[in-house]
A = this chain, B = another copy of it.
């Protein structure tokens, strides 16, 4: 099938498919006239990628899953590389959550200081008794070394200008 059909069936734009190919995620065959040729299985691949992206993965993160599927596995997550990415993502999310919670507490404190009584919002400021959905299981170790941590969910607090990239 050609790019337009794949785009329609996978629910993405042709631009997106070409971008994925450029990133090495979705190599396409070529017809004699230069048109890209895709397999049926590529639909599945694209859907997998979109699903991962929607869950906060980057394209680079998605690569092991795609490779795994192309290697013949039914589940993109059934390869050790994919599992490693999963674990790394979990660690990143945990770190982000803890950061946000800390930040929330700080902000709430400052708000109370500036405007006592203004805190009419949630009960997330303190450890709430029922421990509802905020229980952060175990904390992973951080690994923020190389700069990039998550695929973009949380405002940056990059004030430690220690490392110039």
Residues of A within 8 A of B (CB): 50, 53-58, 75, 77-78, 82-83, 86-87, 89-91, 93-101, 103-104, 106-108, 110-111, 113-115, 118, 121-128, 131-142, 144, 147-150, 152-160, 162
Q: Please measure, in the bound complex, the distance between the C-alpha atom of A33 and the C-alpha atom of B83, giving whole angstroms.
A: 62
Instruction: Please tell me if the beta carbons of B127 and A152 are within 8 angstroms of each other in the complex.
Output: no
Q: For the complex formed, measure the closest distance between the CB of A27 and the CB atoms of chain B, giving whole angstroms.
A: 23
Determine the chain B residues whose CB is within 8 A of the CB of A110 once the complex forms.
77, 86
Q: Please measure, in the bound complex, the distance between the C-alpha atom of A125 and the C-alpha atom of B121, giving whole angstroms.
A: 29
Name A's interface SS.
Answer: loop
Instruction: Please tell me if the beta carbons of B133 and A101 are within 8 angstroms of each other in the complex.
Output: yes
A107 and B90 in contact (CB under 8 A), knowing A54-B157, A125-B141?
A: yes
Q: Please measure, in the bound complex, the distance between the C-alpha atom of A156 and the C-alpha atom of B11, giving whole angstroms.
A: 16
Instruction: Please tell me if the beta carbons of A122 and B135 are within 8 angstroms of each other in the complex.
Output: no
Q: Please measure, in the bound complex, the distance between the C-alpha atom of A57 and the C-alpha atom of B107, giving whole angstroms.
A: 11
Q: For the complex formed, measure the closest distance between the CB of A161 and the CB atoms of chain B, giving whole angstroms.
A: 8
